[in-house]
Amino acid sequence: MKSSGVFVVENSINLKHIPMETIIQLTPEKFEEIYTNEQFRNQVAFAHVHTDSNNNFKYRATCSYPVKYIVTDGQIEKANKEYERMKKIVFETHKNDLLFVGMGMTYNERYPDDICNHRIRTEFLNREGKRYFVEFGTGQGNQIHCDHSIDCDLLDLKEEEITKVREKMKGCTGFVSMELRKQMDESQKQSYNNYKGLERKRFSEVYSKTNILNIVNETFNCNFKVIIIDNYNIHCDDKQIICISPK
């Protein structure tokens, strides 16, 4: 259906109860919301390509429902600049707070101090300058579960050792090759993940900001005073330090 420049894609199942998806041009007035609505800003900044039936480019549009907005290259560029500006502010402001990246779906608070995101992760330096990566989520009964607890320094060392052994193995045969293979096997046995057993631990604590803060401080020898969950302004790049524990 097409009406007044608005394209509507109808769902044939339960049309009375399912909102129709509309695709419209993003107006200058609506665009200004990128400065007040972080989720909408990201939808513009990371707009998706739409093509016709022959896979020819048509336009870029926000990944939003039930309304998608067709965006221009200029709008995408401005939204990206605003994203980068806010990312820098968050990193600078919360450098010494326990800063988590919201990786899952957000939800309304179910109880006081709730995380309000199903999955969060961070990479940080502890009080001694050692680097770790952790990812927590909400489990059955709103209890904490840990998906990843990684000693990043040990991981780096392990990868470095394996690379060196592989280089030595090139062109080697017989007894020398067997000895190098043993070295690689020993290196691979080093356990960099499941640090302090967090990945297999059954937590009794509820999934709350205070409980996550306490677990990180006690497990990793940190001294964070505040925990921050950021859902739209930052992300975990490869081996990027998100925050640093105060001494």
Backbone φ and ψ of 63, nearest 5°: -90, 85
Residue 103's alpha-carbon distances to 7, 28, 235, in angstroms, are 32, 30, 8
Taking the model in full, what pTM does it have? Answer: 0.79
Structural domain harbouring 141: 94-156+189-244
> Which residues are registered as beta bridge partners of 157?
none
pLDDT at 83: 97
Residues 82, 195 within the same domain = no
pLDDT band at 7 (very low <50, low <70, confident <90, very high): very low
Which of these three, 54, 69, 88, is where a domain ends? 88
Kindly provide the b/e burial profile for residues 26-46, where b requires at least 16 CB atoms within 10 angstroms of the residue's own CB. beeeebeebeeebebbbbbbe
Residues 127, 227 within the same domain = yes
- Asked if 72 contacts 27 with a C-beta cutoff of 8 angstroms, the reply is no
Residues 65, 151 within the same domain = no
In a domain, 64, yes or no: yes
Which of these three, 66, 88, 110, is where a domain ends? 88
Residues 150, 120 within the same domain = yes
| Residues 142-169, mean pLDDT to the nearest whole number | 81
How many domains are there within the chain?
Answer: 2
DSSP annotation string for 5-23: TEEEE--SSSTTTSPPEEE
Residues 200, 137 within the same domain = yes
pLDDT at 12: 47
Residues 199, 118 within the same domain = yes
| Structural element, H or E, at residue 212 | helix 209-220
Which of these three, 88, 112, 131, is where a domain ends? 88
**Per-residue pLDDT tens for 62-80?**
999 899 999 999 999 999 9
pLDDT at 139: 76
Single-letter code of the amino acid located at 55: N
